Structure 1
Amino acid sequence: MNLLAHSMTSRTGGYITRRLHVPQEVWSQGGAKLSNILEKVRVVEVLCSALEEMQQYSAEYFGAGSVCSGFALGIGSVGRKEAEAWMSKLEEFSAVCDSVVANFGKKLGVGEGFVLKKSSGVTSWGGKLTRQFDKFTNGKNLDSPAAYVNGLSKLFSQTQLLDEHTKALTSQPIAPIYAAFPTDVRSTVEVRLRRVSEFFATVVLTFVVRDLAQLLEKYAKKCEKWLAE
């Protein structure tokens, strides 16, 4: 996701793999007709909103510094209360992911490998998710490819928070903040972080990479036309 974001924001584009370079113009070219743009932008908007909340909670519980390096403020104050509060917020974010799949997975053709959990979290988040979708719809041109790409760039940047927590938890030795967690809570947090990672891999990246393939094909045809002229 970090590489994709770089290809969107850098003037020279960026490498997605060692052999595939994506020019920035691929994302901004006109005339590209991607399917279900409205639904994708709404999903991205809600995920960004949820991640903004996660950023606030992370700073509140662990300080505004780096979780991985252990330079975050308040390390000494992290106890079971803070650990369980963070675990709860991860569960809420996981419920957002479940709701996205439940509401849009079939239409977007994603989430087949993402097994939904039958829990009250999905139901309770359903209403909030719908209200957020309605809020983001009002007064916005959500079917714009530019809005889609801008949203993806923001989303991929914000997901680095989850990556930072995952690295802090799975590093050897474990980061000081997570070392202070009770063992049972730490294990649960790791499971939930892995589930969120699975969501981005099997849901978000599935439709984004699919769209990128379509955009690259259109861009290649344009290049062939330019060369012929």
Structure 2
Amino acid sequence: LFTKILGQEMVWMFDEVPDDSTVYVIRGRYGKYPNIYAGMPWIRKRGIRCVRSVPKKTNFFFLSRDIEKDRSRYPDYQLNVYRADHKLIDFLRKYLHDTIIISAKDDASQHLSKKSRAFFSQLGIPLTQLKFRDSFACVLDKGQALVWKISHSSPVILVGQPLRNRGIDQIISAGRDTGNTSKIIINGQNVSPDRRGLNIVIKKQNQKIIATFFDTFKQEWNGLAILKAQQN
């Protein structure tokens, strides 16, 4: 019932935050139901408190879609991701048995974490080299780096027989200062989302195509995240 009334995301936040936490839900959103849910015995037992205005002198948790906007909104707090529902590494791990094609646009480096860079390094791609507004493209095939290239000063273009063998005609990446574009051409069609950050196309073994992007200039997750706010 509460999942239907509040939405899965709100119930998810209450379920995920630590015991004895303060949860902040902006006044007016979800009506009175967050407070009602916080009063349920299984929530009260955990010591979770729901507030509808920004609490003072205490850490709190809240839902976010854009951490940079929220950092501007709450300048007195340090914001960190506590949980995220669609994280870059989790997404890539899910499809390591397929063909993963990645093309950067604009900038993909600013909020690409050390953990993510290390993940790519384990697959044979030294993403520690990726700098601000670099061009970068790669293909992962069954968990191994098939081909990759990073450029600090020009677009990256990947072509060749190993790609054609997998139905990939061409991959183009250009950082903001060298063309600002992303193209992933499969069977004559550009399937790249062409958005800032890492544009990712999954070519599954059944030939199904999945296209998405992670704006790693801003953050490493899509959708919603639970942020923890700590006073500076």
TM-score range, shorter chain: under 0.3
Scaled by the length of structure 1, the TM-score of the pair is 0.25
- Higher normalized contact order (CA 8 Å, seq sep 6+, divided by chain length): 1
* TM-score of the two chains, using structure 2 as the length reference: 0.25
Rg: which structure is higher?
Answer: 2
More strand by share: 2
